[in-house]
C-alpha cells in the first residue's frame, strides 16, 4: 500500500542551525502539508502546498520556515535557524485532489533542538 515516507525519524540539532526535513508523498497526490505537534499538545497546521506554490500558511510558518518540492517527488521543510521552541514532531501529509477526503500522514520526524 502506498505511504508517505519521512526522513529522518529523529533529528537532533544545535540551536541556530539549519535543518531540512524530508518527505516523499504518495506519487499521484497533488496537495501537500506540513503539521507540527509539540510534545503533549495538539497537531497544528504549518503550511499547504499545491501546484508548486504555497496555498496557505499559518502564523507559525514565519520567515524561518520554507518548503520546496525540488524534484517532483520530495517535499521538504527547511527551518533556517532553529530555536528551542521548534522542538516538536513534524508530520508531512498528502492528498490526491481537492475532492479527496483523506489526508495520508507520514510517520513523523521528531526534531530536538538543543
Partner 1 sequence: AQTVTQSQPEMSVQEAETVTLSCTYDTSESDYYLFWYKQPPSRQMILVIRQEAYKQQNATENRFSVNFQKAAKSFSLKISDSQLGDAAMYFCAYRSARYGGATNKLIFGTGTLLAVQP
Q: What letter does residue 15 receive in the DSSP assignment?
A: T
Does the footprint of partner 1 cover residue 71 (CB under 8 A)?
Answer: no
Choose the stretch contacting partner 1; rule: CB under 8 A; options: 14-22, 61-69, 75-83, 91-99.
91-99
Cell numbers that stand for 47 in this block:
503550511
Out of 5, 11, 13, 44, point to the residue binding partner 1 (CB under 8 A).
44
The pattern of x and - marking residues 95 through 114 that bind partner 1 according to CB under 8 A reads x--x--xxx-x-xx-x----
Measured from the Cβ of residue 101, the count of other Cβ atoms closer than 10 Å reads 6
Place of cell 532553529: 82
- Residues 6 or more apart whose Cβ sits within 8 Å of residue 70: 76
> Which residues are 104's β-sheet partners?
94
Does the footprint of partner 1 cover residue 2 (CB under 8 A)?
Answer: no
Does the footprint of partner 1 cover residue 75 (CB under 8 A)?
Answer: no
Q: Are 4 and 26 in contact (CB under 8 A)?
A: yes
Does the footprint of partner 1 cover residue 62 (CB under 8 A)?
Answer: no
**Residue numbers at the binding site for partner 1 (CB under 8 A):** 31, 33, 35, 37, 41-45, 48, 55-56, 58, 89, 91, 93, 95, 98, 101-103, 105, 107-108, 110
Amino acid at each position: 500500500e502506498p505511504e508517505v515516507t519521512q526522513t529522518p525519524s529523529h533529528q537532533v540539532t544545535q540551536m541556530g542551525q539549519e535543518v531540512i526535513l524530508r518527505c516523499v508523498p504518495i506519487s499521484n497526490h497533488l496537495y501537500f502539508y506540513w503539521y507540527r505537534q509539540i510534545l503533549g499538545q495538539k497537531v497544528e497546521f504549518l503550511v499547504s502546498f499545491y501546484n508548486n506554490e504555497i496555498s496557505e500558511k499559518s502564523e507559525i510558518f514565519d520567515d524561518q520556515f520554507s518548503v520546496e518540492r525540488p524534484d517532483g517527488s520530495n517535499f521538504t521543510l527547511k527551518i533556517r535557524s532553529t530555536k528551542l521552541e521548534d522542538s516538536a514532531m513534524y508530520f508531512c501529509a498528502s492528498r490526491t485532489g481537492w475532492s479527496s477526503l483523506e489526508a495520508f500522514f507520514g510517520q513523523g520526524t521528531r526534531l530536538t533542538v538543543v
